[in-house]
Structure 1
Amino acid sequence: MSHKKEVPAVEVSELSADGSTRDLASQFANRLNTQTGSSGPHVSHSDNIGEAPENASVSVKKEWALLRDPVIHTERLDAIRSKKGYIIDMDGVIYHGATLLPGAKELVEFLQTNNKKFLFLTNNSAPTPRELQSKLERLGINVGEEHFFTSGQATAYFLKSQSPDGGTVYVIGEPGLAYSLYDMGFFMNDHNPDYVVLGESQTYNFEKLTKAVQLVQNGAKLIATHLDTENLDSVGNKIPATGAFTACVELVTNTKAFFCGKPSALIMRYAQRVLGLSRLETCIIGDRMDTDIVAGITSEIDPVLVLSGVTSMDMLQQYAYRPYLILGGVYEIPDEDERHLVTDQELEDASRRVSDQKKKSLY
């Protein structure tokens, strides 16, 4: 499921007309009638976004500088291009529904050409990495399933760290979550499980929630893949999400669930482990301040906000933190500068440093 609003259908072929990627982004924004401050998705070149109000506070002006100041923006964008690893949100960054966003394909080509490591990270625990791979393939982006990481996988990693020998779980969720748990040695049990695990699903009902409540009351530990309380359906109406159902079980049982997805720094640490890179060598690219950006900040990974999803510039004043860089979309990242090429030796050295650091932390 996704937190993003549906947008008017725009064929990918229409976005592949003559003109630069930046022109395509502007055309796409115009097609969606996006403007700063509107409640819908924002897909726009920074030139189309407007300016900071004249009477804006110092804090607001600093946020606009991350988007517009030629020195700050260029310097930080170059630093992001020089990273060895990228953790990338999907909906609102790479696509909207079944529509590929401008620059998404070019971003992946940039990462592959420059030997970067990257993961597409999602709070949606329902799909398997292979299903996510198939979706991107249908949109024209071909990457291996090893480049995808879900909150379901993060949950399985966490349970494995708590119970190295495996265990039993009662799961309300889709196959992607169940497969991840099974791969880590956890088996389904609806009588006396070690854990009750709640994830994305359209099959929540009174009977299943009652079962979850009773099992938690009997001693099972309550785990949620994430605590987002709402999603949007295909026509933009709000529907309850994992966090809402988790709150129900918490309230009845007087317990608190442990969650593993964004904005938890835990999922970021797991993603780093998959990449084999340090936090300083990694960045996260997302469109949500309350999940993607805060996850980067709490894990000390440089967060990049793109305005191609649900966040607009005027929304930033709601938050006490700001991203490292603000972009109109991922189309701003790709370039042809050979300085951003990462050699195999550099990746090996980086992986070895991370491994050595992990060993030191054990002593």
Structure 2
Amino acid sequence: MYKGYLIDLDGTIYLGDEIIPAGKRFVERLQEEKIPFLFVTNNSSRTPEEVVRMLATKFSIQVTTDHVYTSAQATADYMDRLGKEKTVYWIGHEGIKQSLSAHGYSYEEKNPSFVVVGLDRELTYQKLSTASLAIQKGATFIGTNPDRNIPTHEGLMPSAGPSIAYLETATGQKATVIGKPEAIMMEGAVQRLGLDKQEVAMVGDNYETDILAGIHNDIPSILVLTGFTKKEQVPTLPEQPTHVLNSLDEWKL
């Protein structure tokens, strides 16, 4: 039905440290049929190389970095287009650091041109204070992704969204958010596949990010009920996905 697929990871291919078997089989079917796909992940903490290594070692899924597009990569692409001085204070992990450094950005705490906020599992009040002061001085405030939670086998854990909301409240400034469901991320992902929007489908478990990314950007969407959004929520969703699946095993290529 579609010539290419944009695929979420957390809650779609795996859940925490556990593989979702139907997600793995879906990727293998795409590879067998030579259908192009791209993992589009709002998780900015991992580099593309780390994503590839994690998929191989934990879940025996063999892909290359060409199959990965993270919100950190999309953030660096967006910042380049603004043409400002390449200084940045970031809150996050190696994925943000590597992506920004690869694009020539240097770390600056006092007077950066940008403040970039992503998932940080070692978040402190001092980090938030440094970011808040820089934003108040005029730094462009960017959030890598709006996710409120990350689905794990233990339950829903905080993601980048709460940290971005904290700083928006503290500074009175709205962040430019890059990741799904925003157009910035989706346009970059579709461009990488080299297809038209109507020729691809966005596959994911989270209505608020994955599925709205499709709906808001005129991309067909496939909601799979293996992670964030539950079956009982589907009838009350404000706009329906193009397709709803209990499992990716139900999808025929």
Say whether the fold is shared (TM-score over 0.5): yes
1:277 aligns with 2:195: yes
2:228 counterpart letter in structure 1: V
Q: Give yes or no for contact 1:102–1:329 (8 Å, CA) kept in 2.
A: no
1:1-363 matches, cutoff 5 A:
79=1, 83-138=2-57, 139-163=59-83, 167-231=86-150, 235-236=154-155, 239-333=157-251
Q: Distance in 1 between matches of 2:55 and 2:5?
A: 17
The alignment partner of 2:21 has SS state of coil
Task: Give the CA deviation at 1:331.
Answer: 1.4
Which stretch shifts more, 305-314 or 176-185? Answer: 305-314
The DSSP-based 3-state class of the residue aligned with 1:227 is coil
Give the number of aligned pairs: 252
For the residues of structure 2 that align with 1:105 and 1:214, how far apart are their CA atoms?
44
**Amino acid paired to 2:219:** I
The 3-state SS of whatever aligns with 2:69 is strand
Structure 1: runs of 5+ lacking an equivalent: 1-78, 336-363
Pair 309,212 (structure 1): closer, same or farther in 2 beyond 3 Å: same
Q: What SS does the aligned partner of 2:116 have?
A: strand
Query: Does the 8 Å CA contact 1:265/1:296 hold for their aligned counterparts?
Result: no
Residue segments in structure 2 that go unaligned for 5+ positions in a row = none
After TM superposition, give the deviation of residue 201 of structure 1 in Å.
0.7
Q: Report the 3-state secondary structure (helix = DSSP H, G, I; strand = E; otherwise coil) of the residue aligned with 1:185.
A: coil
User: For 1:168-219, what per-residue CA distance to the aligned partner results, in whole angstroms no more than 9, with x for missing partners?
Assistant: 1001110111111112222211121100111111121111111111111111
2:47 & 2:135 partners in 1: Cα distance?
27
Change (3 A) 1:199 1:107: same
CA distance in 1, matches of 2:158, 2:4: 34
Q: Indicate the larger mover: 134-143 or 168-177.
A: 134-143
1:143–1:290 distance in 2 versus 1, CA, 3 Å: same
Quick one: distance in 1 between partners of 2:66 and 2:85? 23
| Bigger Cα Rg | 1
Distance 1:308 1:243, change over 3 A: closer
**What secondary structure is seen at the aligned counterpart in 2 of 1:204?**
coil
Q: Identity percentage over the alignment?
A: 37
Letter in 1 for 2:127: K
